């Protein structure tokens, strides 16, 4: 067990060092068994955080994201958080002025993460395979940059099906309606 944990820590350290040394605009910490975002990474990446535009934390074991994470990586354009245990986002998400795409599929959201509605540049939101039952129809309809909202495999209510063109200028992806019980 300790050997596997040590290997996981070493893998994260290697990926962070690669990003810092090569001054790339991406940080890929997918599949690293992270339960939280390691605090040490903030210090290790201090010199390059402004240049990070893409972060993947997909397929980890994250239960939450901190406001510090969001404010540290304030220049994000893409954030992949698919396959975690998230059920809410910090309010600080609204400060991500350049965020164009966020993948929150395969998490534990029961409600649409409302801070996303205030992210003006957001073009793509993927919330497939969550537990979302209701969506803020009015707020979504006012998101000028939104091009695609994926709500497939969510138990969304019938009001979400009212979000159709020409009312909204984006593609809404929903699972087919379940046929009702026959009379």
pLDDT digits (tens, 9 = 90+) for 6-25: 787 888 999 999 999 999 99
Taking residues 40-49, what's their average pLDDT? 93
Q: Which of 54-58, 126-130, 161-165 has the lowest mean pLDDT?
A: 161-165
φ/ψ (deg, to 5) at 78: -135, 135
Decide: 30 and 59 in contact? Cβ < 8 Å: yes
pLDDT at residue 180, rounded to an integer: 46
Has residue 166 got a pLDDT over 70? no
Residue 32 φ/ψ region, left for φ over 0, alpha for ψ in the -120 to 50 degree band, beta for the rest: alpha
pLDDT at residue 113, rounded to an integer: 96
pLDDT at residue 128, rounded to an integer: 97
Rounded-to-integer distance, Cα 59 and Cα 34, Å: 9
What percentage of the chain's residues is helix, strand, coil (to nearest 5)? 30, 15, 55
- The confidence band for 182, taking pLDDT boundaries of 50, 70 and 90, is very low
Has residue 1 got a pLDDT over 60? yes
The structure's pTM equals 0.90
How far is C-alpha 122 from the chain's CA centre? Answer: 11
Percent of the chain with pLDDT over 70: 90
- The confidence band for 163, taking pLDDT boundaries of 50, 70 and 90, is low
65-101 pLDDT per residue, tens: 999 999 999 999 999 999 999 999 999 999 999 999 9
pLDDT at residue 10, rounded to an integer: 86
- Quote the mean pLDDT of the chain: 89
């Amino acid at each position: 067990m300790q050997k596997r944990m040590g290997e996981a820590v070493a893998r994260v350290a290697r990926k962070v060092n690669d990003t810092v040394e090569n001054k790339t605009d991406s940080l890929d910490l997918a599949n690293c068994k992270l339960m939280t975002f390691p605090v040490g990474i903030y210090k290790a990446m201090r010199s390059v955080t402004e240049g990070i535009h893409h972060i993947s934390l997909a397929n980890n074991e994250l239960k939450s994201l901190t406001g510090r994470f969001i404010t540290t990586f304030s220049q994000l354009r893409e954030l992949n958080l698919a396959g975690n245990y998230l059920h809410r986002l910090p309010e600080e998400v609204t400060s991500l002025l350049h965020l164009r795409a966020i993948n929150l599929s395969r998490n534990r959201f029961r409600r649409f993460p409302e801070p996303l509605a205030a992210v003006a540049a957001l073009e793509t939101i993927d919330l497939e395979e969550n537990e979302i039952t209701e969506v803020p129809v009015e707020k979504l309809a006012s998101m000028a940059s939104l091009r695609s909202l994926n709500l497939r495999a969510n138990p969304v209510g019938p009001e979400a099906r009212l979000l159709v063109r020409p009312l909204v200028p984006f593609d809404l992806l929903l699972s087919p309606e379940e046929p009702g019980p026959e009379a």
